[in-house]
């Protein structure tokens, strides 16, 4: 018997087409019901429930009960990062689905990667923070500098509360569409939340797209250029 992590099991769980569609839907960061996930996967509710039990058993998804309803989310950021990396690998190998639509440009411009900003706007944010000396990226190890701490505090984010989190403060996440890094970690989450609070951006209810207003995008680019 071979020893070590069972990547075959993880691969088979994620690789099933219906489960892959369900997990991709959960990359929006939203909590979805089995009925909603069944629609995303194109299967019956009973089949979706069976898939979710398998994913829940290995802690890829986690359930949340609210009243009579049961919602599902990705278990944590690590699962989201793995899925984003797999999307990037598929895109770089030319393994893309042929169906396109009007939402595709919006998704490539700005979208959620589980709970932080991805797409062209996410890469712009990351590049700006690094170029201006607010972040350092040494072989994938990302740290915030003193000037970065000052910028974040002036932007209205409580850095002390982020440091008390169990999650890494900063981490790079390979963007599947731009094929470059965007910012993950608790700081990435806090920045996206702040964009929403300021009214710069909003989440599209029907997809993972993040829609910036004209004034919001202008302000975003001025601050993080």
pLDDT at 1: 53
pLDDT at 58: 94
In terms of Cβ atoms closer than 10 Å to its own Cβ (0-12, 13-18, 19+), residue 131 is exposed
Average pLDDT of the residues in 93-114:
75
Any idea which of 29-38, 128-137, 158-167, 186-195 has the lowest mean pLDDT? 158-167
The larger pLDDT score, comparing residue 92 to residue 169, is at 169
> Does residue 92 carry a pLDDT above 80?
no
pLDDT at 202: 95
Give tens-digit pLDDT for 148-204: 999 999 999 999 999 877 788 998 888 877 778 899 999 999 999 999 999 999 998
pLDDT at 103: 62
pLDDT at 80: 87
Average pLDDT of the residues in 93-103:
62
CB 119 within 8 A of CB 111: yes
List, in sequence order, every residue forming a beta bridge with 33; answer none if it has no partner: 71
Give tens-digit pLDDT for 198-220: 999 999 887 889 999 999 999 99
pLDDT at 101: 47
> pTM of the entire structure?
0.76
Percent of the chain scoring above 90 in pLDDT: 60
Protein fold of 7-75: Arc Repressor Mutant, subunit A (1.10.10)
66: enclosing H helix or E strand: strand 61-66
Domain locations in the chain as residue ranges: 7-75, 101-224
pLDDT at 81: 83
pLDDT at 4: 78
CB 121 within 8 A of CB 223: no
Query: Where would I find the H helices in the chain?
Result: 7-15, 17-26, 34-41, 45-57, 77-92, 103-109, 119-131, 146-154, 159-163, 185-197, 214-224
């Amino acid at each position: 018997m071979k020893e070590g992590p069972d990547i075959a099991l993880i691969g088979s769980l994620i690789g099933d087409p219906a489960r892959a569609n369900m997990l991709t839907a959960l990359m929006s960061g939203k909590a979805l019901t089995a009925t909603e996930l069944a629609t995303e996967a194109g299967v019956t509710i009973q089949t979706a429930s069976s898939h979710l039990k398998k994913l829940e058993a290995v802690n890829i998804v986690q359930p949340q009960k609210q009243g009579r309803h049961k919602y599902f989310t990705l278990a944590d950021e690590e699962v989201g990062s793995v899925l984003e990396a797999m999307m990037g690998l598929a895109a770089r190998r030319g393994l893309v689905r042929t169906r396109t639509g009007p939402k595709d440009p919006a998704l490539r411009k700005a979208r959620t990667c589980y709970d932080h900003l991805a797409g062209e706007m996410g890469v712009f944010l990351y590049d700006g923070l690094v170029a201006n000396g607010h972040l350092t990226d040494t072989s994938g190890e990302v740290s915030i500098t003193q000037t970065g701490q000052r910028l974040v505090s002036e932007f209205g984010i409580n850095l002390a509360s982020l440091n008390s989190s169990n999650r890494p403060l900063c981490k790079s996440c390979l963007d599947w569409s731009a094929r470059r890094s965007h910012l993950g970690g608790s700081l990435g989450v806090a920045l996206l939340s702040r964009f929403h609070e300021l009214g710069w951006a909003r989440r599209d209810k029907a997809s993972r797209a993040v829609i910036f207003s004209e004034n919001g995008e202008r302000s975003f680019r001025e601050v993080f250029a």
